Amino acid sequence: MNEIAQNILVEKPRLLSLLGTSVLTWHVQRKLESEYDRALLEFLSLYANRLRRWMEQSINALRNGFNAYEDMYRANFEAAPVAGLSEESVIQNDLRILRDWAKPFQGSSV
């Protein structure tokens, strides 16, 4: 965008400036549209593509991180006790799983 802004050069025509600001504004607008519309459109198109690519990469990184945690928790849940165990042993096993999950966080500021 800076490249486009540096290349913009619109001279103030003396005759048009005598006709008032509305005529001068119309002249400047037409000159900008005729000379810089294509460059601006190309720049915005390139920027939109880069922004879309960045967004897709960010979403994929978030998805991958989520899936990694999901896999870790799924493995812990699959290791849950088998049906048919006594309720006390099921509770003891759940407490053991919770203690195992807490170990990495013990001593951290989180």
Dump pLDDT digits (tens) for 51-97.
999 999 999 999 999 988 888 888 777 766 566 666 677 788 888 88
The ranges assigned to domains in the chain are 2-64
From residue 77, alpha-carbon distances to 30, 31, 37, 68, 94 in Å are: 67, 67, 59, 14, 10
- Cα separation of 106 and 51, whole Å? 40
* Nearest C-alpha neighbor of 84 from the set 96, 93, 72: 93
Closest CA to 28 of 42, 8, 44, 5: 8
Please choose, from the candidates 14, 41, 38, 40, the residue with its C-alpha nearest in 3D space to the C-alpha of residue 27.
Answer: 14
Q: What is the pLDDT of residues 16-53, one digit of tens each?
A: 666 777 777 777 788 777 777 787 888 889 999 999 99
